[in-house]
Amino acid sequence: MDPPLCAKGCGFYGSLENKNMCSKCYVDYLKQELIAQSVMAFEVLKNSVTTTPTPLPNSSSLLDDHPSPTVTVSGTNGLNSTGSTTTTTTRIRCPCCNKKLGLLGFHCYCGGVFCGEHRYPEKHSCGVDLKTAGREVLAKQNPLCKGDKMQHRI
């Protein structure tokens, strides 16, 4: 018995793994599905942005030492009373030296964004204990395995 022809009608043989399509038609089908999913995700994102934004929850109390930089938009839905759009953004700055960070900053475990000089935890007096966190991870990954010492004596 021959395999079925492609469901798209291109003339090649299809397979059940590819929904009765040939490999070329199946790849085109997957691309169209991916585009449709991204359009749906964009619509959901667009609808959530136009509604009231939800604040991000703080992950720990360590964020109080170095508040994370924010970008704010003023006005109601970006429109002022005259109908033109107004946006006010705050620059992202290093909390230690107040240097402008531009597009890229160095993110730390404590939640702060720092310049190249203060990116290391010892340079900005980071409150996160990385040694203890590393030891806890190793303890979870490598549990203690002890054999019975008395087994060979009995």
* 53 burial via Cβ count (<10 Å: 0-12, 13-18, 19+): exposed
| Structural domain contains residue 80 | no
* Residue 59 pLDDT level (bands cut at 50, 70, 90): very low
Which of 72-81, 99-108, 118-127 has the weakest average pLDDT?
A: 72-81
Model confidence at 58: pLDDT above 80? no
Q: Report the predicted TM-score, pTM, of the whole model to 2 decimal places.
A: 0.34
| Structural domain contains residue 113 | no
Q: What range defines the domain where residue 42 resides?
A: 1-54
Count the Cβ atoms, other than its own, within 10 Å of residue 93. Answer: 16
The sign one gets for the Cα dihedral 107, 110, 112, 115 is negative
**What DSSP string runs through 36-54?**
HHHHHHHHHHHHHHHSPPP
Count the Cβ atoms, other than its own, within 10 Å of residue 141. Answer: 7
| Structural domain contains residue 130 | no
Q: Where are the alpha helices (DSSP H) in the chain?
A: 23-50, 130-141
| Structural domain contains residue 7 | yes
Give CA–CA dist 118/96, Å, rounded: 7
| Structural domain contains residue 12 | yes
Tally of domains within the chain: 1
Angle in degrees, CA 41, 45, 51, rounded to 5: 150
| Structural domain contains residue 78 | no
| Structural domain contains residue 34 | yes
Mean pLDDT of the chain: 77
Mean pLDDT to the nearest integer, 10-17:
89
What is the tally of helices (H) and strands (E) in the chain?
2, 2
| Three-class SS state of 90 | coil
